[in-house]
Amino acid sequence: MSHIHAMPAQFSSHNQSRFQRFPMGIFSVFSIQNAVQVILARRFKAVALATQPQPPPVPVYLHELHGIPRDDALVNSFGSTQWRHVLVAKVMHWAELAAKHHDSLLLCSDNDISLLPGWLESLVQSFEDAGRPDLYFQREGGDDAFFDPFPYNSGFFLMRGSEFTAAFWRHVARRTAQEQPGFGDQTIVNAELVALQPDGAPGCTAHPLHLRHAHFPPKLVVGGPVPPSDANALVRARVHHATSSGGARGKLTALENFLEAWLAAANISRAAVGLPRSFDETEDVSPPHKSEVAQATSSHVGAATPPVPIPISQGGEAASTRGRAYKTSSQARRSVSFSHRLMLSRKGADEH
């Protein structure tokens, strides 16, 4: 269940009418470290455009992350220096977007995601039902209660642009670079927004930036390498995130398999949605009949964002800061158990 408390005083004066109902843009990042990463980004954009109900579509912007070493798309880069550089650069991009687009609703996403037919209305309605929080994340671990203390997956979220959210993401990037936590920025997001809560539950918190936050219902945003076996649960999904699916090629396979299963369960063809037959390493993934839309919303490649240096040492202030993420020894013990379990569940995973 998504918890959200009363709006802090500093937000009560926000002009709610300035927030459009739909996001002003869908934002993702990619690198050219291997060809499959580029295909994942192009696929993300094509599916996001094709599955919107009617024109004009919410535009999709792809931001290239520069300076990432190349690989063959098979290597498990989870936890590597390369992976950390990508995460920090990505989070800094979220900060830039929040600072640039005040009073706008932004959908921020990893590119190993499929936005399924019906996603736009469903996600926006869920966001409104939750009270229009500043940050609205994917629920990590589905409805598994084990993940209640660490509920947020920072690879997919709606965000209200403001200096508050910009400052938050800058803070997350700084801590991620300094501390090198096992699960990257997601560890820091949960530590800041949830672990420091007096009641240990998601919701409004006084630290660090009075941000209102919550998560999507697990039935709407589904993670994992395989589709649910229950057809009813499958067709209720509006977003699939290929977590725990290995490297870039594994993610592409998981995304395609899930999409095929979803379309079959919903009795919808690719042609009806406007998608090509399949996405692979050789195919042009731009929907032919939406070429004009694709041109009108061409990829936004911003200025190069150099990765924040990753220090070798994890001691000193970084270790002290990590220790402050949990208020009690009980929470600390749970964090160790969480890390061990999540490591096992994500064996072979790439980026989350």
pLDDT for position 277: 73
279/207 Cα distance (integer angstroms):
43
| Tokens coding 327 | 């208020």
pTM passes above 0.85:
no
Place of tokens 């918890």: 3
158 pLDDT higher than 80: yes
Mean pLDDT value across residues 81-86: 78
Residue 78, pLDDT > 70, answer no
Segment 251-277 mean pLDDT: 93
> Is the pLDDT assigned to residue 329 strictly greater than 50?
no
* Residue the block writes with tokens 């992350």: 65
Query: Could you give the percent of the chain with pLDDT greater than 70?
Result: 65
Contact, 210 vs 196, CB < 8 A? no
Q: Residue 16: what pLDDT? A: 39
Q: Of residues 272 and 288, which shows the higher confidence score?
A: 272
Name the most confidently modeled range: 97-106, 205-214, 305-314, 331-340. Answer: 97-106
Residue 312 has pLDDT above 80, yes or no: no
pLDDT value of position 178: 93
Between residues 298 and 283, which one has the greater pLDDT? 283
Is residue 71 within 8 A of residue 82, CB to CB? The reply is: yes
pLDDT reading at 276 higher than 70: yes
Examine residue 56 and say whether the peptide bond preceding it is cis (omega within 30 degrees of 0).
Answer: yes
> How high is the pLDDT of residue 209?
65
Q: Is the pLDDT of residue 14 over 80?
A: no
Per-residue pLDDT tens over the stretch 179-218: 988 889 999 999 888 866 565 566 544 445 678 999 999 9
Distance, CA of 206 to CA of 267 (rounded, Å): 47
Identify which has the larger pLDDT, 253 or 349: 253
Burial of 66 (0-12, 13-18, 19+ CB in 10 A): middle
CA 32 – CA 12 distance, rounded (Å)? 43
What pLDDT does 265 receive? 97
Mean pLDDT of the residues in the chain: 74
Instruction: State pLDDT tens for residues 29-40.
Output: 988 767 888 899
192 versus 280: the higher-pLDDT residue is 192
Residue with the bigger pLDDT between 111 and 20: it is 111
